[in-house]
């Protein structure tokens, strides 16, 4: 059973159809990429999956493990997507808690787990009971992700003071601290230099190995072709192709809509300069 199934998802804003009857499924343990030209509806589809928009039509289901009862994401309220749906996300323009430390960012991500252990705040305020245990566990998880993202040395610095690449890694670590089964990344490689890009690649592979499936939007074709197992191509809100990187690379429709066009344009622009 695939981890995420989108069935006829449609998102309308007034007369504008941003996502038009898109169906696809993301396999468990795979890295699935959504690509497409600007304005193809990638981010809108993403926002539907992560609960920021409620799709006007269609269904989105997630199944946490092989024989789990599938859960309808489109029925859950926004904040429950991360908590009950176990879908975490990052943002195209990094959204960290800039005035809080790196460590605090990772603890905020574990809010629900910790809040449940505080016994309506009373045990927490008095520092008693299972709260202490829960807090220690949360710190261990945070530390593990600090090591995994190479941010351990910066744990007590404000998140806003980190360089851009580190902020992106922190955002991924923060999303992972919610214990997701599906991590959605909105252009994780944007603005990264080749070295940081390679580091990101490694991090994503590690996340996948640890049992979390990935769904990503990406513009950087180098990254997409290298790491994804499956690619979904959108254009003008419609799905135009779906397959392995090799299939996508040779798909004439995709080349016409996206790859060929944009690369030729880029080359032409370069030559003109």
Q: Site residues for other proteins, window 57-96 (CB under 8 A)?
A: 78-83, 88-89, 91, 95-96
Q: How far is the CB of 236 from other proteins (least distance, A)?
A: 27
What residue ranges in the chain does DSSP mark as E strands?
Answer: 4-13, 16-26, 31-35, 57-62, 71-72, 87-89, 182-186, 213-217, 230-235, 238-243
Using the contact rule CB under 8 A, the part of the chain among 173-181, 212-220, 224-232, 236-244 near other proteins is: 173-181
Beta bridge partners of 217: 34, 186
Please give the structure tokens belonging to residue 179: 């214990």
Distance between first and last Cα of the chain: 51
Give whichever of 9 and 76 is closer to other proteins, judged by the CB atom. 76
161 contacts other proteins (rule: CB under 8 A): yes
For residue 144, state whether it binds other proteins (rule: CB under 8 A): no
Six token digits for residue 243: 């397959």
Options 21, 56, 59, 112; binder of other proteins; rule CB under 8 A? 112
Give bridge partners of residue 31 from the DSSP assignment. 214
Q: Which residue stretch of 18-26, 49-57, 64-72, 225-233 sits at the interface with other proteins (rule: CB under 8 A)?
A: 49-57
Question: Residue 175 interacts with other proteins (CB under 8 A)?
Answer: yes
Residue 81: CB atoms within 10 A of its CB come to: 24
Q: Whole-angstrom Cα distance, residue 204 to residue 185?
A: 10
Q: Which residues would be at the binding site for other proteins (CB under 8 A)? A: 50-52, 78-83, 88-89, 91, 95-101, 103-104, 107-112, 114-115, 118, 121, 124-125, 127, 139, 143, 152, 155-161, 174-175, 178
């Amino acid at each position: 059973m695939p981890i995420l199934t989108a069935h006829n998802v449609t998102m309308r804003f007034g007369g504008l159809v941003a996502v038009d009857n898109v169906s696809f499924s993301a396999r468990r343990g795979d890295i699935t990429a959504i690509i497409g030209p600007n304005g193809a509806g990638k981010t809108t589809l993403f926002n539907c999956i992560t609960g920021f928009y409620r799709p006007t039509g269609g269904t989105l289901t997630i199944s946490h493990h092989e024989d789990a009862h599938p859960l309808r994401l489109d029925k859950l309220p926004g904040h429950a997507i991360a908590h009950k749906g176990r879908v975490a996300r990052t943002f195209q323009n990094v959204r960290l808690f800039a005035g809080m430390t790196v460590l605090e960012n990772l603890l905020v991500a574990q809010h629900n787990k910790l809040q449940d252990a505080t016994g309506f705040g009373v045990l927490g305020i008095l520092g008693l009971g299972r709260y202490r245990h829960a807090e220690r566990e949360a710190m261990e998880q945070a530390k593990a992700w600090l090591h995994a993202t190479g941010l351990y040395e910066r744990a007590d610095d404000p998140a806003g003071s980190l360089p851009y690449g580190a902020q992106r890694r922190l955002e991924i670590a923060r999303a992972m601290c919610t214990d997701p089964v599906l991590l959605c990344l909105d252009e994780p490689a944007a603005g990264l230099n080749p070295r940081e890009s390679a580091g990101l690649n490694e991090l994503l592979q590690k996340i996948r190995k640890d049992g979390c499936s990935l769904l990503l939007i990406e513009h950087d074709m180098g990254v997409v072709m290298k790491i994804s197992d499956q690619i979904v191509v959108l254009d003008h809100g419609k799905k135009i192709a779906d397959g392995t990187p090799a299939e996508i690379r040779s798909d004439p429709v995709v080349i016409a809509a996206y790859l060929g066009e944009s690369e030729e344009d880029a080359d032409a622009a370069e030559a003109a300069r």
